[in-house]
Amino acid sequence: MPSHPLDLAGRAILVVGASGGIGREIAMLLSELGARLIVSGRNEERLSETLGLLSGTGHRIEIADLAESERIPQWIKSITSVSGPLNGIVHAAGKQVTLPVRMTTPTNIDDVFRTNLYSAVMLAQGFCQKNCYTQEGGSIVFISSIMGFVGKSGISLYSASKAALSGLCRSLALELAPVRVRVNCVAPAFVETEMLKHLQDLLLPEQFEALKQEHPLGFGNPRDVAGAAAFLLADTGRWITGTTMVVDGGYSAQ
């Protein structure tokens, strides 16, 4: 047992979607807690920036496109052949689109679900391969969204994909409990990332202020979400599986 329940020293964790935003902040916090990280994304330049922000040593980057979900299990095999078995995986990559249902096509549906859901399933499958997770088990954390629980006009596809993640984690948790692999989600509301800045540019000032007022504690910070992910990965979460931790500044309490 580590000296502190949040101590991740000696643990190898793959963070997918670590090029920026919440994924980058998760990687930074996990490194501060002692984890050895494999950070992944599509943009090598931005991943290298993330790598430079990590504490400690022994970290590396892996370039990958989660849209090619059928390749993920073999990709996990290749990672663990170098790094050894993983203690955990964080799926922080995601795609958000604003698209009215009357304009939605099957291609749009497949595109959103391939990134947000298909990849999550295949990451779990890859993690559970022989020699890909430690003998003690491990922890899988999916970054979902409060929009999987509440509605908002124009983001039906995104909401559906995030709701599906919560359902996935409940059943996977039961399936993988015998091998001591825990599966949980973190569901944030609006967090101060590049995505929120882009949304601010699209809205009128009064609209953006109204959105902020929907969060009793104000907009979140990426570190707020990172803390929840770290809690679930560390021994603090050793008796937690199949749940979605809501981190939304009170957004869903109204």
- Residues with active-site annotation: 158
State the virtual CA torsion across 202, 208, 214, 220 in degrees, nearest 10: 80
Token pair 């599906």: residue? 164
CA–CA distance, 108 with 131 (Å, rounded to integer): 36
CA 181 and chain centroid, separation: 16
| Dihedrals phi, psi of 15, to nearest 5 degrees | -110, 110
- For residue 145, how many other CB atoms are within 10 A of its CB? 27
Which of 102, 202, 117, 197 is closest to 154 using CA atoms? 102
CA–CA distance, 9 with 175 (Å, rounded to integer): 28
DSSP track, 150-193: S--TT-HHHHHHHHHHHHHHHHHHHHHGGGTEEEEEEEE--BSS
CA 179 and chain centroid, separation: 22
CA–CA distance, 60 with 242 (Å, rounded to integer): 29
